[in-house]
Amino acid sequence: LKLIMFIVGIVLSWTITQNLSLYSEIASYQLFAYQEGSTPPHSNLWKKVGDVKALPLPMACTLTQFQEGNKYHFAVRAIDVYQRISDFSEPSSIHLFAL
């Protein structure tokens, strides 16, 4: 999972390095975010911020509902055509500064 900050928002991009022919077709991806704060990290602080219909890889989307001055962590997971959910990706982090 790769993160890039632009004036319009945060661009998340990802691909899958495994041989996709070994798996069922991916129907969609779920995007999760966690805003770092004073509370100790815990899994229940992660929030689903979107669902994205699967398109040919690599995938990318832009998120805009995040505030400057905060550090965010993101993770993605896939859902196949049989509604089976993958493990989460390795999280990626970004600290939003004023441009």
| pLDDT tens per residue, range 58-98 | 999 998 888 888 889 999 999 999 999 999 999 999 888 76
Structural domain range at position 32: 2-95
Q: Indicate whether this model's pTM tops 0.85.
A: no
- Number of domains the chain is built from: 1
Q: What is the DSSP string of 40-85?
A: PP-GGG-EEEEEEE--SSSEEEEE----TT-EEEEEEEEEETT--B
Q: Residue 51 is part of a domain; what is its CATH number? A: 2.60.40.10
